[in-house]
Structure 1
Amino acid sequence: MVIQKTPDEIELMARAGTILAEVHEVLREAVAPGVTTGELDALAAAEIAARGAEPSFLGYHGYPATLCTSVNDQIVHAFPATGVRLRAGDLVSLDCGVIWQGYHSDAACTWVVGGREQADERTLTLVDAGYAALWRGIAALRPGNRLGDVSYAVGAEADRHGLGVIAEHDGHVVGGHGIGRQLHEDPLVPGRGRPGRGMRLRPGLVFAIEPMFTLGVPGFTVADDGWTISTLDGALAAHWEHTVAITEAGPRVLTARPGEPAA
């Protein structure tokens, strides 16, 4: 069931989103060669607690951490660990959620460890196209549009750059989603879709828009831990995400970081 949010509920989610944006900025500054993903997880937990909020992921269906820290060919849901030490040129996706007064926010960023100068041109295309697709999907979140318009906008950006879209493989489906009192609510927002199809968008709906692209084939594998999703062929992957509310005037980005448009 798709749950429409009241203005008051959206304001609570906006506070959760502001906290999450602040945490992501702290994490961005902490990403460096030699840092472990376990250290990043501990930092995220401390920053969330310092703001009086709670982590969305910790304990969710048994998930053991505050962050998902996916490195290189890992796409999403990889566990942080003290034994995973970042190296210059690695791609690391940091996915995090925050609960504020019972309402969730969810956002992800992909960074080149050591700075963009550590990556080759094709890797930067992967990162930048994923980010551009995020904003193309957000721009389609307008009253009267359909869900397929959002998914189409995301997938079309991958096609422009010859990238694979991570969406479905062997019965497993990943993508964006509704969000509110639950971290994952209906509907699923796939990374591919047909314009003019799907549910009609209206004010009060809130979505996590979540492009996941790869330099290789679009398939993926799920590790024995039941969580970690990696590319099928070992190719690099990038993952971006924002939580976005639909208003009468269009999209409102609840997890916008400094320098990003909130509307």
Structure 2
Amino acid sequence: MDKLLQGKKLLITGAARGLGLDFARAATAAGAEVAMADILAGQVMAEARTLAAEGLIAHGLALDLADPASIEACARDAAGLLGGLDGLVNCGAIATGIGGVDMTDLDIEVWDRVMTVNVRGSWLMTRAAVPYLKAAGAGKVVNIASDTALWGAPRLLAYVASKGALLAMTRSMARELGEYRICVNAVSPGLTLVEATQYVPQARHDQYVDGRAIHRPQLPEDVNGAVLYLLSDLSSFVTGQNLPVNGGFVFN
């Protein structure tokens, strides 16, 4: 993957930590110029400075996916800093502290907040990026979904529903944006060892490891190859697809 993304200008949301941060590190190492956005503004800017200190091109931006104005400003600022956009990774999402309850006990407020950020936020972020992707003459959108939407993980209904919606939106967006040579795809990771999954009961971690064709925990770097491929020119005729990356826990 050395220099696979040379010169690509990318916006990655949810990049202060976890998978989003790992995507930013992998993309810059592959030659991309990256704008990293997150609601944890101080943290994402510090991570961007760390990458820049290594001689890589990275900028940190504040982003609230519940705020349409913040989303528009983020896309505009990212394109301004980078001189355009070739790709967007929709990784920002609410995943922590929303599981572990039956659907009958799920708070309406939690449901609405998850849908606002994970679904509406991803739609609005893509909408805001589209003019810049069109201007580039092509483009890539990679939506980070979840294999929970493929096997129906229990006691996690709001998150599962939001990721299922993201998969459906991926297909519809691909139909609409294909005429502009913009490819829209999804990656569905399995349960990955990041900050957001530290609250997940050990029994669920064990369920994943035992149920995978490859019996081991999933690490952030396991997902990088799929995301970089979908951002690269190698996938210029791939769109509307979902790529599960979970060690064979779910086959697609």
TM-score category of the 2 structures, normalised to the smaller one? 0.3 to 0.5
- Which structure shows the bigger proportion of residues in helix conformation? 2
- TM-score when normalising by structure 2: 0.33
Instruction: Tell me: higher relative CO, structure 1 or 2? Use CA pairs within 8 A at least 6 residues apart.
Output: 1
- TM-score when normalising by structure 1: 0.32
